[in-house]
Structure 1
């Protein structure tokens, strides 16, 4: 009876893990990059060389307020994001249907900063939780998260009996299949708490989309914790000039118990100052409201109670906006290993079935999709980064072209995988794409230094981190290529 249960769970773990894992690998890979989404955006806009912790002046606030009023007179809904250590500019933004765009101000002088248009790190954040399919994509990600939790639990059960011996007798140099399985188990066990936490919290934060009856939907708004929704559209009457923002910021900080302000939303009769996502581990939408045009404090809005705090903690843990640099790197490395767990599971699924089913069309499609996911997506991401440096900075529509090149490269990788997955040698399908990752990733620092030497010098930490990720991808690709020899 016990063996029958383990056999059935093994079947569930293998097939559910493979079918869900193809998309889950993409979700985890882009989610891991989203840990440093702000830094990626800064790397992709090298013209922005404002240092972290640059002081915010009244002059800059006045310049931003003047632009906001001008936009309101034109009938546009805009909002203001305040500087933070990760994104030190003062930004007046609006939503163009795909992303938030607008004017960046130097917080010290109030001078607008001209930067190249790009999706930046926002692309990976949006892909991670919507698959670029809006609410439908978010629902799909949530459903996949639930299935992935079932897959993980079934994997723990079927390996529980021999788990300790398999880890103690780690056989990376043994037969290729045995080595990959042991590595899959070891990394899976070490990062099991993080993987369960990140999947569970990621499912909970958008649970209202698959469980419409949940009473928790009002506790967190807007949906995107990184980029707030715009306020109500202005009326036809010309809005009055905004009051001085500096005193309102000071009042709002006191009203919100010393928390910094993250962004400001505007409506015809009031403005709302929201607590920063980085204020603490509880990611809230607490805010202070002020009347217009006199700037009188109307009150503060919070979501009290243990249920609200629990949901806020879930959001805080998943998005990690509060995390200092060291913890953010831990999130990144844990996400990278969680991605490796799923990707290695896909490889194991293919390796176990290649001898018996390699001639079947279904297997060839499955292997082609695996290659497209495991190596094709990293290639596409690196093409995205390379295109940011190689396309002219002033080109119209360059952000759309960057994204188009990413998907174009991904399609080419899929075609290459489909063509070569019919071969009897596994390497003919994997090896060229792994080499391409090594070339693009290893060449990223050179490209960065050649094209943006001034930005590399002034913001060396961000550029070293981004270029280092490219080198890390190259090293991992070369290692995997060696492991897949034969």
Structure 2
């Protein structure tokens, strides 16, 4: 019975992992980069690199909000929405955006600008780019796909991941011993050690991030409580849960709003010490216009921001939200906060990042180990099956293709002209085109030579990225260090470290490839 149970758990662990491992690798890869999505966005906008952070950031917010709203009031009076993002520890500029009134059934287009918080002047040379937001959305929306379908796929993959983690713990007989064991140069055993080591060392993170990921989509997975309690189902439930997010339909009846500065002053009279993250005005100049202040939760284990909603005509406080949670709301919201990692200080964010890389290693090594085990069991004259060749091709395409695609995305950000129409989408298209190129190569042939060639390509690309940055912007690694611009310096250093890892990999694969003819020759000599 014990042996049968162990075999069942081993079978479950193997197949729940293998069937979705490539999708899981993408989810983990994009999610890991998302922990630094604000830093990636900052890197993608050279115009804001030299904006100095403010010492008294919170004290300066009142004037910044007034200046930004007055700028929108003067330049976007016909807009459907005004949006102002305040400087934070990870973003040094004021983000000023507005959305056009879209045609019936269509969403309006967003227009984005930056303002220097020190001078309150508009910065030029805004670069149309999704930056780190692309990886954040890719993590659960998968791009080029209907969002609902994508999130169902991500949910099923996450559920398989959770089953794989639990069954892996069950079948792992030496879970603590394997934390300190890695035998290199031992073929499949080395891959097994890499799989075990990356799994066990970051196991708490893997379980936390997978379970909380399912929690973020819990109302999609289990809609029935809301559907049974509300006549209109989930729509009415969310309206009751977050009334501040409900947008009244624009009436078209124009009214005169109070001056924005007066409304901002009124807010700070009522709530003088709040650290504000963003300010939104819905339907400016319409009788349904609302002014919303969102607080920065900082390092609190809270994902939903406290919000205050004001009537822009009479200055009345309409509602407050997320300032006081029930026990169930606190539990749910804290899980989402843990998953997104927005609460993290730099040290914890780096820990999340390293654990995310460990998750990629865990998934990738498991997939490669499965293929190598099948290869080892084959006879010398036996031809690989279609399934084995497909797995090997997908392994190469995913593990080596995603870094190539990511480098292509960053190169596109630096090399595409700022005036290029649809520039942000073009960056994303080049990401997927780079990945597609690697996938076609990998599905054609996925031997040691192809792994080595792609390792060399990755090494060259990631080494060239800081050089490209230095040639296309006014900064470089040396200047970043002298100016103490540690985010930009860290980006370049991480690129160089990535290039070094791929270079080492290419050297090891070259040695392995050179050793194969010698081994084959010796075997032929023994046969003679």
Same fold (TM over 0.5): yes
Counterpart of 1:225? none
Cα displacement (A) at 1:374: 0.4
Call closer, same or farther: CA 1:174–1:368 in 2, change over 3 Å: closer
Q: Given that residues 79 and 230 in structure 1 are in contact (C-alpha distance below 8 angstroms), is that contact kept between their aligned partners in structure 2?
A: no
Counterpart of 2:252? 236
Q: How does 1:306-455 map to 2 (within 5 A)?
A: 306-356=327-377, 359-421=384-446, 426-454=447-475
**3-state DSSP of counterpart to 1:163:** coil
Residues 400-438 of structure 1 deviation map (CA, whole Å, 9 limit, x = unaligned): 2211111111110001101222xxxx3122111111111
For structure 1, list consecutive stretches of 5 or more residues without a partner in the other structure.
223-227
Give 1:86's match in structure 2, choosing from 85, 90, 99. Answer: 90
**3-state DSSP of counterpart to 1:290:** strand
2-side partners of 1:220 and 1:350: how far apart?
A: 51
Counterpart of 1:144? 157
Cα displacement (A) at 1:103: 2.0
Query: Normalization by structure 2: what TM-score?
Result: 0.82
2-side partners of 1:327 and 1:183: how far apart?
A: 24
2-side partners of 1:66 and 1:234: how far apart?
A: 22
Counterpart of 2:184? 173
1-side partners of 2:131 and 2:353: how far apart?
A: 18
Cα displacement (A) at 1:371: 0.8
Cα displacement (A) at 1:85: 1.8
Call closer, same or farther: CA 1:481–1:157 in 2, change over 3 Å: farther
Counterpart of 1:283? 303
Counterpart of 1:264? 279
1-side partners of 2:425 and 2:408: how far apart?
A: 14
1:11 is aligned to 2:20:
no
Residues 36-67 of structure 1 deviation map (CA, whole Å, 9 limit, x = unaligned): 10110110111113233364466643342134
Q: Given that residues 17 and 161 in structure 2 are in contact (C-alpha distance below 8 angstroms), is that contact kept between their aligned partners in structure 1?
A: yes
Residues 105-142 of structure 1 deviation map (CA, whole Å, 9 limit, x = unaligned): 22222222222111100000000121123232122212
Call closer, same or farther: CA 1:343–1:95 in 2, change over 3 Å: farther
1-side partners of 2:281 and 2:195: how far apart?
A: 50
Counterpart of 1:186? 197
**3-state DSSP of counterpart to 1:17:** helix
Cα displacement (A) at 1:387: 1.5
**3-state DSSP of counterpart to 1:345:** helix
2-side partners of 1:95 and 1:246: how far apart?
A: 21
Call closer, same or farther: CA 1:399–1:259 in 2, change over 3 Å: same
Counterpart of 1:53? 54
Cα displacement (A) at 1:101: 4.6
Call closer, same or farther: CA 1:312–1:57 in 2, change over 3 Å: closer
Cα displacement (A) at 1:82: 1.9
Call closer, same or farther: CA 1:463–1:72 in 2, change over 3 Å: closer
2-side partners of 1:230 and 1:52: how far apart?
A: 34
2-side partners of 1:99 and 1:5: how far apart?
A: 57
Counterpart of 2:495? 470
2-side partners of 1:366 and 1:136: how far apart?
A: 24
Residues 321-368 of structure 1 deviation map (CA, whole Å, 9 limit, x = unaligned): 121111111111111111111111111111111244661112111111
Counterpart of 2:122? 112
Call closer, same or farther: CA 1:128–1:135 in 2, change over 3 Å: same
RMSD between aligned alpha carbons?
Answer: 2.8
1-side partners of 2:192 and 2:34: how far apart?
A: 28
**3-state DSSP of counterpart to 2:367:** helix
1-side partners of 2:340 and 2:109: how far apart?
A: 19
Count the aligned residue pairs. Answer: 472
Q: Given that residues 92 and 103 in structure 1 are in contact (C-alpha distance below 8 angstroms), is that contact kept between their aligned partners in structure 2?
A: yes
Counterpart of 1:157? 170
Counterpart of 1:198? 209
Q: Given that residues 311 and 317 in structure 2 are in contact (C-alpha distance below 8 angstroms), is that contact kept between their aligned partners in structure 1?
A: yes
Q: How does 1:121-136 map to 2 (within 5 A)?
A: 121-132=132-143, 133=145, 134-136=147-149
2-side partners of 1:14 and 1:71: how far apart?
A: 59
Call closer, same or farther: CA 1:189–1:197 in 2, change over 3 Å: same
Call closer, same or farther: CA 1:185–1:86 in 2, change over 3 Å: same
Call closer, same or farther: CA 1:40–1:430 in 2, change over 3 Å: same
Residues 177-236 of structure 1 deviation map (CA, whole Å, 9 limit, x = unaligned): 1112112112211100011111111110121111112559649988xxxxx979545431
Residues 253-294 of structure 1 deviation map (CA, whole Å, 9 limit, x = unaligned): 45xxx5422222323343121222425221124211222223
**3-state DSSP of counterpart to 2:48:** coil
2-side partners of 1:449 and 1:214: how far apart?
A: 55
Q: Given that residues 220 and 284 in structure 1 are in contact (C-alpha distance below 8 angstroms), is that contact kept between their aligned partners in structure 2?
A: no
1-side partners of 2:280 and 2:24: how far apart?
A: 35
